[in-house]
Amino acid sequence: MDSQDTQVLAAARRWRAEGQPLALITVARTWGSAPRPPGAWMVLRGDGVVQGSVSGGCIEADLIDRITQGGLLDPQGQPHPFVLEYGVTREEAQRYGLPCGGTMQLVVEPAPDLASLDALAHQISAGVRVRRSVQIGQPGAVLTPAGNAVEAAFAWDGQTLHTVHGPRWRLLIIGAGQISSYLAPIAQALDYQVYVCDPRIEYTQEWQAPGVTLLTCMPDDAVLELRPDPHTAIVALTHDPKLDDMALLEALKSPAFYVGALGSTLNSQRRRERLLEYFDLSAEQVARLHGPVGLRLGSRTPPEIAVAIAAEMVGVRNGGAGVLAP
């Protein structure tokens, strides 16, 4: 599974390499209700083929009409980024499916530079977060290191668009088991840089997950090495207290926004008691533990459990409680 950024970027690179005409389109600003947030992007080929999205579909239909008629491509061969607005009038908002009078501003880049797209893809694949800057009326894009500040991921002043690409969040999974093999690609699609830690050679010898960093150190060392911040999640999935508890000991002291552990309700309660009795953890720190891990979806199979964990992480990350009734 790829994140939306990766899918759009891969299509843009492939089409540019083939010599296809195309436009890269980014949501720059919205007013009122809008289907897609600022920073959402899509690539549109000259024959109308689409990857990604900027709305619920109606705006895409208009963009397809425009590009197939040559309206988004500069006929002089000197393409420059420009701005398109939708929903300026009530009639237009209704036509394009923008509820509550919403308005959307798009930055359109005809024929983005292939070398720049390749450089962006290379840095993303290396786990680097990249800030991409595009100026209206000026060809090309400037790439600079973005660091780990999620808050600075997007900026638009009407003339220069800054977007950040690459993993914005980090997930450390303890255990290279079957659940982890499903959770890792789901998390990657949610813009996590994923690490899997397991010191057991019986599990790591056959572990395969493209783009995932495999750590074979002890779990507590992995947590300390990662230096969790408020954009980090840590999930213990070995079901072995000798490994899971070691990770939780350090994870619950950290500012990680989400810490979870696999286990039944009874085992989770026993784990909390054990962490309070034998480890240097406060009741407040132990209360941060999500266990049993994941939303209560009645999950039983490894992929179902992985979905439940990812769903709870999304809820917590977005400020929700992340818990549903059984």
* 239 and 160 part of one domain: no
* 149 and 192 part of one domain: no
Domain annotation covers residue 90? yes
Give the pLDDT score at 86.
86
CB 29 within 8 A of CB 106: no
Q: Where are the alpha helices (DSSP H) in the chain?
A: 4-17, 58-68, 90-95, 114-125, 178-189, 201-204, 219-226, 241-251, 265-278, 283-286, 302-317
* 175 and 151 part of one domain: no
pLDDT tens track for 140-164: 899 998 865 555 578 999 999 999 8
* 244 and 231 part of one domain: yes
* 16 and 100 part of one domain: yes
Domain annotation covers residue 285? yes
Domain annotation covers residue 323? no
DSSP-assigned beta bridge partners for residue 210: none
Print the domain residue range for 28.
4-165
* 50 and 92 part of one domain: yes
Domain annotation covers residue 324? no
Q: What share of the chain is helix, strand, coil (3-state, %, to 5)?
A: 35, 25, 40
- The phi and psi torsions of 37 (rounded to 5 degrees) equal -80, 165
Give the pLDDT score at 101.
54
Domain annotation covers residue 158? yes
Indicate the average pLDDT of the chain: 87
Q: Give the whole-angstrom CA distance, residue 4 versus residue 6.
A: 5
Give the pLDDT score at 325.
38
Model confidence at 168, in pLDDT bands (50, 70, 90)?
confident
pLDDT tens track for 262-281: 999 999 999 999 999 988 89
Give the pLDDT score at 58.
75
Domain annotation covers residue 114? yes
Supply 45's token pair. 């080929």
pLDDT tens track for 44-98: 999 999 999 888 667 888 899 999 998 887 645 557 899 998 876 666 656 665 6
Domain annotation covers residue 195? yes
Give the pLDDT score at 324.
45
pTM reported for the whole predicted model: 0.71
Q: Is the model more confident about 100 or about 70?
A: 70
* 152 and 279 part of one domain: no
pLDDT at 167 over 80: no
pLDDT tens track for 291-307: 999 999 998 899 999 99
**Average pLDDT for residues 6-33, to the nearest whole number?**
90
* 38 and 104 part of one domain: yes
Q: Which of 145, 165, 185 is where one domain is finished?
A: 165
Q: Which of 165, 192, 223 is where one domain is finished?
A: 165
Domain annotation covers residue 325? no
Q: Give the whole-angstrom CA distance, residue 252 versus residue 236.
A: 12
Q: Which of 124, 144, 165 is where one domain is finished?
A: 165
* 100 and 200 part of one domain: no
Q: Give the whole-angstrom CA distance, residue 171 versus residue 259.
A: 10
Model confidence at 326, in pLDDT bands (50, 70, 90)?
very low
* 18 and 136 part of one domain: yes
* 157 and 273 part of one domain: no
* 147 and 179 part of one domain: no
Number of domains in the chain: 2
- CATH number at 206 reads 3.40.50.720
